[in-house]
Amino acid sequence: MTVLFGRNSSGKTALLGLVRLCLGWLSSRCPAGLPLALGDWSAGAEPVDLIHARTPHGQADIEIDAEIAGRAIVLDASVLAFETWIEGGRETALLVSRFRSDPEGISLQLSGHEHGVAQYGPFGPVQFRGLLPDDPRWSALARWREAVDRLAVGLVHLDAIRTPVARSYSLRHGGGLNDHRGERAPFSLAADADLCADVGAWVEQELGGWRVRCEVAGEHFALVARRGAVTVNLAETGQGLQQVLPVVVQQLARQREPRTDPFLDLIEQPELHLHTGGQAPLADLVIGTARLGRGAVVVETHSENFLLRLQRRVAEGKLPADDVAVYWVDDRPDGSSRLVRVRLNGEGETERWPAGVFAEAYEEVKALRRAQRPRGI
């Protein structure tokens, strides 16, 4: 599993979105060009949103290392924000300006752009579909799309802001896990009594004793939370429980899956709106999915407790240090960001935290003591 953490607006969400965007650009379902919108999810409003500082004619370099059928392959490409003037104004589009794939030895370099068609030196015009040339001359590249399509079946991307729970739902609608707002989570619970029981038990144990269950009335159902003699519609509870529900449903459903296909879970701020006491158990939930050994989980978080639970499980020997990669997204004064690997040893300790990370509480305590000292407290 991979964990991304950093300050607000450091680029964590953009990095997570880039993973999804690149996979979309490698999929067989990708249309011509380099679209920003993939289904109901979008990576930006206009092409320059993908370029640092939104620079016209700027470019982004992308390198993807993968292993397909036991063979290591590399795809290296540059994406250019190409600005042209059209009647009534200017338009910016994305073009692949450089492409290399090993071990096939394919190398393309943009040499010009004539009448809306990109030219690549001696190869002439080449049409790209996403990051790959859509050209029979390089049919060997189809294995990239085949591998990504297999992974896409098991891809789930949960946004930081999930859809609040409604007071009731129609049983006629279906469930599923691969919507980025978590809107299908209630339907998954209504369709699977065992999953609903597992989710209810987890919430009861980790979030204050409230047990979530599904109540059916005719062709409709509602999610309720019960503790002791009190039962409330989940729509009337706080946002913490509502926001975490899709995460819990998705992770426990993943752990119950009988299939062995690979998967990729991208989760933004699973701890959103949760009291600090409910954040650490989310790390155990994600560890359970990552330990299935057939897929990967990438989590973006602000939670120190989430990270501390990971460190604890490594120290307890329940999570090998090599199975978790922690990255600090370090935003710099020039507006750029870089990834800093924070390595864990076998004792769950870090080699070093970047300067100032999780130092806020310590600084506040020091300031408190300084304020108390003149009064002799």
Residues of the chain whose pLDDT is less than 50? Answer: none
Tell me the CATH number at 302. Answer: 3.40.50.300
End-to-end Cα, the chain, rounded Å = 46
Which residues partner with 368 through β-bridges? none
Q: How far apart are CA 296 and CA 290, in angstroms?
A: 6
Rg (CA), the chain: 24
- 114 with 182, same domain: the answer is no
* Cβ–Cβ under 8 Å, residues 377 and 370: no
The type of residue at 75 is: L
How wide is the angle at C-alpha 324 spanned by C-alphas 322 and 330, nearest 5°? Answer: 120
- 216 with 360, same domain: the answer is yes
Helices marked H in the chain:
12-26, 142-153, 185-191, 193-206, 239-256, 280-290, 304-315, 360-372
- 173 with 40, same domain: the answer is no
- 38 with 126, same domain: the answer is yes
Q: What is the dihedral of CA 307, 310, 312, 317, to 10 degrees?
A: -160
Judging by DSSP bridges, how do beta strands 89-102 and 128-129 pair with one another? unpaired
Q: In the prediction, which pLDDT does 175 show?
A: 62
| pTM metric for this prediction | 0.91
* Cβ–Cβ under 8 Å, residues 340 and 322: no
The verdict on residue 284 lying in a domain is yes
- 121 with 170, same domain: the answer is no
- 133 with 170, same domain: the answer is no
The verdict on residue 76 lying in a domain is yes
* Cβ–Cβ under 8 Å, residues 38 and 24: yes
- 60 with 163, same domain: the answer is no
The verdict on residue 90 lying in a domain is yes
3-class DSSP string for 218-233: CCEEEEEEEECCEEEE
The verdict on residue 9 lying in a domain is no
The distance of Cα 103 from the centroid of its chain, to the nearest Å, equals 29
- 136 with 162, same domain: the answer is no
Q: Is residue 183 helix, strand or coil?
A: coil
The distance of Cα 48 from the centroid of its chain, to the nearest Å, equals 22
Which residues partner with 339 through β-bridges? 329
- 108 with 215, same domain: the answer is no
- 187 with 226, same domain: the answer is yes
60 secondary structure, DSSP code: E
**Enclosing domain of residue 55:** 32-140
CB atoms within 10 A of CB 172: 8
The total number of structural domains that make up the chain: 2
* Cβ–Cβ under 8 Å, residues 299 and 329: no
Q: In this structure, is the dihedral angle defined by the CA atoms of residues 20, 26, 30 and 32, taken in order, positive or negative?
A: positive
Q: How far apart are CA 151 and CA 29, in angstroms?
A: 13
The verdict on residue 307 lying in a domain is yes
Q: How far apart are CA 227 and CA 233, in angstroms?
A: 12
- 202 with 133, same domain: the answer is no
Which of 13, 49, 11, 43 has the alpha carbon at shortest distance from 25?
A: 43
Q: In the prediction, which pLDDT does 229 show?
A: 95
C-alpha distances in angstroms, 237 versus 204, 225, 229, 306, 369?
A: 14, 8, 16, 23, 38
- 94 with 188, same domain: the answer is no
> Among the three residues 86, 116, 140, which one is the final residue of a domain in this structure?
140
